[in-house]
Amino acid sequence: MFEFQAVTIQELEELAHTIHEHLQMEGKGMHEVGELAIPLAGNIKSVLERLNVPHKVINGNIVVSQDYAKSLLVSLGFVDTNGKIDGASAIANIERYVEKAQSALELANAVSQVKLEKRSTFIGARIGRPEKARERLMQPAPNALFPIGDYGGRDRNITDAYEKEEKKFGDKKIKVEIARYKCDTCGRIVGMPYCYDCGRPTRIERVDSDEKAYDEIEIDIDKMMTGAMKRLGLVKLPNLVKGVKGLINKDKIAEPIEKGILRAIYGVYTFKDGTSRFDATDAPITHFYPREIGTDIETLKRLGYDKDYLGRDLTSDDQLIELKHQDVIINKRGAEYFVKVAKFVDAVA
């Protein structure tokens, strides 16, 4: 019932020696054990806490009472096959197996009359759901919420539609269902809030018959993409800019194609509502070890972590640190994706 995996072999050996030194029930039967009292000194209290042994501190002594005392004595081999307390034999057995044991649990099993199992699995900063910690993507995952229909191949690649399918398009126009934007200056019907002929703003023109704001219209993909590249200062498009087959919003309003191009440049994808998402398990955490999160001491100090949870100067990556309330530990893949999204946002701005 105790957490033997939480202590070292040396700590368990030290605990057994301390109990033996202050044992006042040698030769008694298990039924006569009332409480176990040992001086509050050294590392013993910490060991008992990590073992999860309930105890109290009374008048400078650590007191383990009743059933917990009996369980601890049995676990450390202080009870022989006849149910009698035999401290000398317990210490002799511990000394015999201490060099052979690979863990405190293995040592306890070597000297105890009962089989001891691993009680718990501890969760640290590295626990999580690796299969879920990734970008949340549509299938297939688009860079742009811009309809391309069956053009651009199986990937719905807008770059291919622009650069490689001139024979299919003839004059490089595609026909897709998209919002009807009309340019009041030149009268052209386009699928975006600006005219790719004159560059003026456009407005949505609804179809009179049923007041719907979209229709199947021709998009001059050559002019649209050439204008977008000019506005972005590009001389060449990314090899893959994924569009969507069709739009699902009520008025079939597409987002500016420039956003899709920029997402493709920075390796960012969009969800159906125009957001870029990363899914990860929200695991509450209060403390962490630097070695668990792969962050060096100097970086932690720059972030304000210069003490461990006991107030000692931070010098080692195996010191336990309390996580500040404003901070969060995120998946490395998530951090890399957030950097890409941040670069995309900066470019859009």
The pLDDT tens digits of the residues spanning 152-182 come to 888 899 998 887 755 554 557 888 999 999 9
Under 8 Å between Cβ of 125 and 292? yes
Under 8 Å between Cβ of 224 and 193? no
pTM of the model: 0.64
* Residue 204 phi, psi dihedral angles, 5° rounding: -75, 130
CB neighbourhood size of 202 (10 A): 23
Q: What does the alpha-carbon distance between residue 9 and residue 108 come to, in Å, rounded to a whole number?
A: 9
Question: For position 128, what pLDDT does the model report?
Answer: 55
**CA nearest to 56, candidates 40, 67, 42:** 40
Q: What does the alpha-carbon distance between residue 321 and residue 288 come to, in Å, rounded to a whole number?
A: 5
Q: What does the alpha-carbon distance between residue 35 and residue 32 come to, in Å, rounded to a whole number?
A: 9
How crowded is the C-beta side of 203, counted as CA atoms within 13 Å?
Answer: 5
Amino acid identity for residue 112 in this structure? S
Tell me the pLDDT tens digit for each residue of 254-277: 999 999 999 999 999 999 899 999
| Range in 62-66, 74-78, 184-188 the model is least confident about | 184-188
Tell me the pLDDT tens digit for each residue of 302-342: 999 999 998 999 999 989 999 999 998 888 888 899 999 99
Under 8 Å between Cβ of 69 and 33? yes
The answer to whether residue 31 scores a pLDDT higher than 90 is: no
Tell me the pLDDT tens digit for each residue of 190-220: 888 888 888 889 998 887 666 788 889 888 8
> What is the mean pLDDT of the segment spanning 44-49?
94
Q: What does the alpha-carbon distance between residue 115 and residue 95 come to, in Å, rounded to a whole number?
A: 19
Question: For position 197, what pLDDT does the model report?
Answer: 81
Question: For position 127, what pLDDT does the model report?
Answer: 58
Question: For position 28, what pLDDT does the model report?
Answer: 83
DSSP 3-state assignment of 295?
coil
